[in-house]
Amino acid sequence: MELKEENFRKIADDLPFGLYIVEPDRTIVYWNKEAEQITGYKREEMVGKHCPQSGLFHMDEEGRSLCQFFCPLLATVESGEKSKARVTFLHKNGYRILIDTYFVPLKDENGETKHVAEIFEVVGPVEADSRLVENLHEIAFHDSLTELPNRLYMESILKVRFYEYHKLFRPFAVMFMDIDHFHDFNIKYGHVAGDMMLKSFADSIKENVRHEDVIGRWGGEEFVGVCPVPYEKDAVPIANRLRDVVNQAYIIKDGNKLSVTVSIGVTFVREEDTLKSIVDRADRLLFKAKQAGRDRIMIDADVPLVGKIERADIR
């Protein structure tokens, strides 16, 4: 008997436990009503998101991030076997909840895992003071000025991307971005204007990235982007768009319209890469872009170039 999708949803929404379903790359495609009740996240907030960016931040009972070190969802995709674990989720309101969760492969007629269902129920609260936990989480992972992820969070995302690259061959590009002549801007217009420009820069970027891309503040006027792409040439239009929107952004200071430009270094993951090597290479490419005259993109691969984009041989 074939179960229609509408009937499946009615049944799944009446279940007394949380249920969500992901594709092999961990994109969430279904989220039931009990999952909404347990986590605080509505279906429309979760469907279409990549699980590591869902906000749940799965951790084991020792406080280790499962997205970084061992993802049970990916393990189920690879093994095709059911498994269970006791983990914690971060509730939308900021406190952690202890969860018993079961991972079930959903296979096609050829026995290939096409989706994984995560079924979960609450064991009990881990943190009582939800406001304190929420504040600690914001401090730990977000930059207060730009409201972008901070360096610690971006390093975690890079670890996840490396895991996915080696386990699922899901390649990615890293972009280092730096506001041109920002030191001079601060001296000329003051630090208040500098902070306003950083916020404008961040807001422009947030509105112009794909949902799977993650952009964060690395430090000072330097920002980093981690973008899943099949080939490095696919990162070029992303970098071009970000450069264009930054060039169009501006602030008003004492009646004057002030704007900046940005230089970007773009590199593609390599088999031998580590977190340090790919970050260092992107940073060197950014430096090359600055040396070449700023307001441009520097890449390290043989891809078609349009606009202010140049190549550099970075090994």
| Side-chain half-sphere exposure of 243, counting CA atoms within 13 A | 26
Candidates 262, 142, 266; CA nearest to 201 is 262
CA-to-CA distance for 229 and 87, rounded, in angstroms? 30
CA-to-CA distance for 200 and 213, rounded, in angstroms? 19
Give the strands of the sheet with 96-107, arranged side by side. Answer: 28-31, 18-22, 113-125, 96-107, 83-90
Candidates 302, 305, 282, 311; CA nearest to 218 is 282
CA-to-CA distance for 122 and 119, rounded, in angstroms? 11
* Amino acid at site 79: S
> What residues contact 145, with CB distance under 8 A and at least 6 apart?
195, 198, 199, 202, 217
- Continuous H helices in the chain: 5-13, 33-39, 43-46, 66-69, 72-79, 130-141, 151-168, 182-189, 191-206, 235-248, 275-291
Q: 191-206 vs 235-248: helix axis angle to the nearest 10?
A: 140
What are the beta bridge partners of residue 251?
258
In the three-class reduction of DSSP (H, G, I as helix; E, B as strand; rest coil), residue 250 is classed as coil
221 is catalytic: yes
Annotated catalytic residue, options 221, 232, 271, 310: 221
The residue to which tokens 């001296």 are assigned: 187
Q: Structure tokens of 228? A: 């899943």
Active site residues: 221
